[in-house]
Amino acid sequence: MARDEAYQESERRIEAARQEEATELDLSGLGLMKLPEAIASLT
């Protein structure tokens, strides 16, 4: 997965978790070097 693609996928997962009020978030397998700022929107 390309770096930009992985970052966009992580943002999609973060947004879905926020909307669903999920208690877990799996970003494994994306090869991220840093977390997106959107992660701060989760509680």
Residue 22's pLDDT is what? 96
Residue 43's pLDDT is what? 87
**What whole-number distance in Å separates Cα of residue 10 and Cα of residue 26?**
9
Residue 1 pLDDT > 80, yes or no?
no
**Count of alpha carbons within 13 angstroms of residue 3, beta-carbon side:** 3
- The pLDDT tens digits for 18-41 are 999 999 999 999 999 999 999 998
**Count of alpha carbons within 13 angstroms of residue 20, beta-carbon side:** 10
- The pLDDT tens digits for 7-17 are 999 999 999 99
Q: Note the pTM of the prediction, 2 decimals.
A: 0.85
